[in-house]
Amino acid sequence: MGLVIASVPDSESASSVNVPYQRYTVMETIPPYLLCEMTPYDVLRYYVGPPLLMVSTTVGVQALALVGGDGTQNWSLLGSNYSWTVVLGLLVWALFSLWIPGKEFLGPTTQLGYTPRYKANGFQFFLLSLTVFLALLFYRPVTAVELAENMPQILASCNILAMLLCVYLLVKGKVSPQTNEILESRPILYEFYRGMEVHPRLLGVDVKQLTNCRFGLLAWELLVVAFFVAGWIKHGFSLAHLSCATLQTIYLGKFYWWETGYFDTLDITLDRAGYYICWGCLVFVPAFYTYSSYYLVAHPPLVSNSAAILILLLGIVFIALNYRVDWEKEYFRAHKGKCYIWGYQATFINATYESSSGIRQSKLLTSGFWGIARHLNYVFEILAAFSWCLPGFGYGIWPFLYALFLTVLLVHRVFRDEEKCRVKYGAAWVKYSKVVPYRMIPGVF
């Protein structure tokens, strides 16, 4: 987000390959020192945007919890004993999953030569956490209602935890950065918002694996299960609410199955650990990504059982298609292009780029889903999200907030990702964009 990417074409040294490579570096524009010399965009970006966003989102998640609740909940600034027990309990559980000895996974090496290390036990962590939580709900079902009714307090605790972490990341990034990825100094609130380091570690673990994968996404899973049970206790069993929770469980199970693939995405390789990503995963994901399920606790679904079954089936198809698109790329890369996609020899464009270890070769797949549009995985992701929001049909926009937000997020991400690829691969990316001209929907966009 907010990056200017400078590229220096260097075609001479790449004469032996199909297309010239680009030497690329990612850096930000340096804001003018004096406020009066800044453009309105600079002022907005560095001084107005971050505080405005931070205040509005922090207040916004509390407001959403109240709007979607049953009218008995109250604003919470500091949380409660209950909420701190829940939040710290989840944090410790998440930390243990990364501390226990086990297989390590090495993420992509940065341009400065740093190779991040992750724990490769995501799916086991997901299954064990879900099993323990289901057992807890079996023996003490009222836990589900307590979690739903204490959402404002839980979010207040998550907020404080996220703020403390972001302050730590800012200070650490300024005083003793570990991974020499620090940029020029910026206005402090902007640095707090954007983050300082791409791969900071804390208590022996990678911060983004902790906040994104092990806290935020697990909170998402456990909360949607809890909200389904809470709705059941309050209004009786609902197949539609079950479809909503089941689809998200399948989606999140798929995420944990593929967790090591996530370490190659923009969230991990480009975004710095700060308010944007860490607050996002510690607070926004539990508050907002779960919202379609949360809303149904106080507003029982209006859709029929047959519609619920149809929604479930549709959602499974979209999740499977999203997985299939991601899988085709991984399979193709794992086989270095020597493989069959949809029964035919895979076709691709050769590309080169410069990394810390010199010039490297890559291939851009042009067959299968990657030959239809350049980001079909995002399209299926959005359709899957709409399908698990559909059980809230009849209650206006509220149950659909997540899917609408995701649409904006992913369309914006298309442009971020394509800018990265255009600079990284240069002419090869331009060629790929000609061979596969549409970004998301063939013939439309």
Under rule CB under 6 A, residue 149 binds ligand NDP: no
Under rule CB under 6 A, residue 288 binds ligand NDP: no
The span from the CA of 97 to the CA of 210, in Å, is 9
The span from the CA of 24 to the CA of 45, in Å, is 24
Under rule CB under 6 A, residue 179 binds ligand NDP: no
End-to-end CA distance of the chain: 22
Q: Which of 247, 417, 422, 439 binds ligand NDP (CB under 6 A)?
A: 417
Cβ burial of 408 (10 Å; 0-12, 13-18, 19+) is: exposed
Side chain identity, residue 142: V
In contact, 182 and 197? CB cutoff 8 Å: yes
Say which residue the tokens 């001209």 belong to.
437
Which is nearer to ligand NDP, 229 or 365 (by Cβ)? 365
Under rule CB under 6 A, residue 1 binds ligand NDP: no
Which is nearer to ligand NDP, 144 or 277 (by Cβ)? 277
Residues 253-282 that bind ligand NDP (CB under 6 A): 265-266
Under rule CB under 6 A, residue 328 binds ligand NDP: no
Under rule CB under 6 A, residue 375 binds ligand NDP: yes
CB of 32 to ligand NDP, least distance (A): 32
Under rule CB under 6 A, residue 381 binds ligand NDP: yes
If you count DSSP H runs as helices and E runs as strands, how many of each does the chain have, helices first? 17, 10
In this chain, which stretch among 44-52, 191-199, 309-317, 321-329 interacts with ligand NDP, using CB under 6 A?
321-329
In contact, 147 and 133? CB cutoff 8 Å: no
The span from the CA of 22 to the CA of 148, in Å, is 51
Q: Hey, which residues does 119 pair with through a beta bridge?
A: 104
Say which residue the tokens 């003018």 belong to.
32
CB of 362 to ligand NDP, least distance (A): 6
Would strands 104-106 and 348-355 be described as parallel, antiparallel, or unpaired?
Answer: unpaired
Which is nearer to ligand NDP, 302 or 383 (by Cβ)? 383
Q: Is 189 left (phi over 0), alpha (psi -120 to 50) or beta?
A: alpha
Under rule CB under 6 A, residue 287 binds ligand NDP: no
In contact, 193 and 275? CB cutoff 8 Å: yes
Work out whether the CA dihedral 396, 402, 403, 406 comes out positive or negative: positive
Under rule CB under 6 A, residue 365 binds ligand NDP: yes
Q: Which of 279, 370, 386, 400 binds ligand NDP (CB under 6 A)?
A: 370
In this chain, which stretch among 25-33, 86-94, 189-197, 360-368 interacts with ligand NDP, using CB under 6 A?
360-368
Under rule CB under 6 A, residue 364 binds ligand NDP: yes
Name, in order, each residue with C-beta under 8 angstroms of 397's C-beta and a sequence gap of 6 or more.
404
Residues 421-440 that bind ligand NDP (CB under 6 A): 421, 424
Q: Which helix (H) or strand (E) holds 103?
A: none
Which is nearer to ligand NDP, 170 or 406 (by Cβ)? 406
Q: Which of 420, 422, 431, 439 binds ligand NDP (CB under 6 A)?
A: 420
Q: Which of 149, 181, 326, 354 binds ligand NDP (CB under 6 A)?
A: 326
The span from the CA of 12 to the CA of 1, in Å, is 32
> Would you say how long the chain is, in residues?
445
Under rule CB under 6 A, residue 329 binds ligand NDP: yes
CB of 178 to ligand NDP, least distance (A): 24
Q: Using CB under 6 A as the criterion, which residues of the chain lie in contact with ligand NDP when the complex forms?
A: 265-266, 322, 326, 329, 362, 364-365, 370, 375, 377-378, 381, 406, 413, 417, 420-421, 424
